[in-house]
Amino acid sequence: MNRLILVGFGVLAIACGPQTSIKVSPTPSATTRVVPTTAPVPQSQVYKIGDKVEIYNTAKTTDIAVTVSDFNVVKDPNHYIEPSKGRFVAVTMTIENRANDPYKTSVFLNSELRDDSGQSYLPTYVPGVPQEPSGEIAPNDKLKGVTAYDVPTEGSFKLYVKADFLGTGQAVFDLGAPR
């Protein structure tokens, strides 16, 4: 009973908390800052491969810079594992921790790949593809990795990267079709 009451209070606190949206303000450098705010924003900016985007969470305890550097079809997947949806693709991403505290990231919690119809795809393990960028990143350090996905043979894709698993600060990368 006590757990049920605590869960109820937790859900109520989240539901009644401040609603956030994203404010995008370009800076003079090659880095773009994405900062949550309580003011509504008409439309989020969509970034492209090669853009370095800085993302904060609402509490500003997370300060990361994300760069997506490549999106391609996995050329020679392991012959023992066949894609169930059509093909394997790989997203190469670098995450920089600009905060004073360590940052824990997981591609399962902090990113989402969607096709142009809105269908989302989970990361998948493909032998021979380097490790995804998941783990702890020390302050002022970075982590680079490759995330594989099983997707249909046609379509364009977007990658949604969140500052935290609640999605209170996120950037959207238009990846297009894989090469």
Residues 6+ apart with CB under 8 A from 41: 21, 22, 23, 24
Based on its alpha-carbon atoms, the radius of gyration of the chain, rounded to whole angstroms, reads: 18
Nearest Cα neighbor of 108 from 144, 128, 133, 140 is: 133
Q: How far apart are CA 97 and CA 12, in angstroms?
A: 32
In one-letter notation, the amino acid at residue 86 is G
Q: Name 161's bridge partners.
A: 111, 171
What whole-number distance in Å separates Cα of residue 106 and Cα of residue 133?
7
Q: Give the model's pLDDT for residue 80.
A: 77
The fold of the 20-176 domain, in CATH, is Immunoglobulin-like (2.60.40)
Domain boundaries, the chain: 20-176
| CA distances from residue 54 to 20, 89, 134 in whole angstroms, order as listed | 17, 25, 18
Chain segment 31-59, per-residue pLDDT in tens: 555 555 444 433 469 999 999 999 987 66
The pLDDT of residue 128:
87
Nearest CA-CA partner of 95 in 145, 59, 169, 35: 145
Among the ranges 9-18, 116-125, 164-173, which has the highest mean pLDDT value? 116-125
pLDDT of residue 118: 96
